[in-house]
């Protein structure tokens, strides 16, 4: 067993036995750690990239810039008489022009305040 898996088992055992301990959650996290550990080519650099990618993916964030590809955007308001698109890759990204430009909910923007506006990568 690697040092990383041993560390994860020890730490997860401490939190899963607490008052709000959840064995199923601990097991799923341990499987993710084991998956990460299964790649034997990690160096300090690749491990930091992999953990950043995993963190972003677990938060439903995109790993590369959004594009204006129509397959990346779905019209979510066509029934209401106006058009607004939501990104399939980044659920907090919305657009009024089919994905050419967009705004992010995490930046305080909404359909009445579309600032700041981001420009998608053209495909």
Burial class of 116 by CB neighbour count within 10 A (0 to 12, 13 to 18, 19+): exposed
Write out pLDDT tens, residues 29-67.
999 999 988 887 777 788 888 899 999 999 999 999 999
* Domain range enclosing 98: 70-119
pLDDT category at 74 given cuts 50, 70, 90 is: very high
Element spanning 74, H or E: strand 73-75
pTM: 0.75
- Label residue 24 by pLDDT band (50, 70, 90): confident
Task: Say how many domains are in the chain.
Answer: 2
64 belongs to a structural domain:
no
On whether both 46 and 88 belong to a single domain, the answer is no
């Amino acid at each position: 067993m690697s040092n990383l898996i041993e560390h994860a088992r020890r730490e997860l055992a401490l939190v899963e036995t607490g008052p709000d301990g959840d064995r199923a959650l601990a097991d799923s996290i341990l499987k993710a750690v084991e998956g990460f550990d299964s790649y034997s080519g990690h160096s300090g650099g690749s491990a930091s990239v992999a953990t950043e990618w995993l963190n972003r993916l677990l938060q439903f964030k995109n790993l590369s810039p959004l594009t204006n590809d129509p397959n990346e955007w779905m019209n979510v308001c066509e029934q209401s008489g106006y058009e607004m698109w939501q990104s399939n890759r980044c659920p907090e990204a919305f657009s009024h022009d089919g994905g050419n430009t967009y705004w992010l909910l995490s930046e305080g923007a909404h359909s009445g305040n579309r600032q700041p506006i981001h420009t998608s990568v053209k495909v």
